């Protein structure tokens, strides 16, 4: 799971940066420009999917596995705080670094630099994952065969049976959308969402 997310994440960045660099190098009137631009946007979208999957794997499953035999409360809180702090630090620093980069070089060079940084990031992350998987047996194995709590219990089967129907889910979706539409800021929020989609 995590390796697939890592590869998808970094290869999406490399592909989109490469395609955008090609777009910045060729004439806008030819069809290759449009194709490269559309593929670049597609890879940017897939990057977001892989980032969210990677974040979910890291923040939920890994934290529970890594602190399983330690003092559950404090170790879990500490590990979760460290992961959240690193994520927030990256969210703050990345726009600043990109802004500084764009101040000094052209867009084409910035795309190439981002692609190279993604390759370096892929190597570092893959090395860290290799070490982490090598040192922790529980990350390599989906479940603990000696742990009876991992087995599917009747409560899990019962919870599956009590899932809401498709009609109820659709009704809930329309209820949420109608509440969103009723807000006075709906036009501005929709406009901003459409702006960010472009």
Q: What is the Cα–Cα distance from 181 to 127, expressed in whole angstroms? A: 47
Quickly tell me which residue has 């660099």 as its tokens: 21
Q: What is the pLDDT of residue 150?
A: 46
* Predicted structure pTM score: 0.60
Residues 15-43 have pLDDT tens digits of 999 999 999 888 888 899 999 999 999 99
Is 71 a residue whose pLDDT tops 70? no
Q: What is the Cα–Cα distance from 10 to 42, expressed in whole angstroms? A: 14
Q: Where are the domains of the chain?
A: 2-150, 164-198
* CB atoms near residue 121 (< 10 Å): 14
For 7-46, letters b (16+ CB in 10 Å) and e give: ebbbbbbbbbbbbbbbbbeeeeeeeebeebeebbeebbeb
Residues 177-187 have pLDDT tens digits of 788 788 888 88
Residues 112-163 have pLDDT tens digits of 998 998 899 888 888 887 887 777 676 666 555 455 444 444 554 555 556 6
CA distances from 178 to 86, 186, 190 (A): 37, 10, 13
Q: What is the pLDDT of residue 60?
A: 66
Q: What is the pLDDT of residue 143?
A: 55
């Amino acid at each position: 799971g995590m390796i697939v997310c890592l590869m998808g994440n970094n290869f999406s960045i490399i592909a989109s940066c490469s395609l955008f660099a090609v777009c910045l190098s060729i004439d806008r009137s030819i069809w290759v420009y449009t194709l490269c631009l559309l593929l670049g946007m597609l890879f940017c979208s897939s990057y977001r999917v892989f980032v969210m999957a990677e974040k979910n794997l890291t923040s939920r499953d890994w934290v529970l596995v890594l602190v399983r035999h330690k003092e559950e409360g404090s170790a879990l809180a500490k590990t979760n705080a460290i992961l959240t702090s690193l994520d927030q630090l990256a969210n703050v620093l990345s726009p600043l670094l990109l802004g500084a980069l764009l101040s000094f070089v052209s867009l084409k060079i910035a795309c190439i630099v981002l692609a190279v940084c993604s390759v370096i990031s892929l190597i570092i992350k893959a090395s860290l994952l290799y070490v982490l998987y090598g040192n922790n047996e529980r990350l390599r194995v989906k479940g603990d065969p000696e742990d009876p709590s991992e087995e599917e219990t009747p409560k899990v089967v019962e919870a599956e049976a009590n899932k809401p129907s498709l009609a109820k889910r659709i009704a809930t979706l329309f209820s949420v959308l109608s509440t969103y539409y009723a807000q006075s800021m709906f036009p501005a929020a929709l406009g901003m969402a459409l702006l960010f989609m472009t």
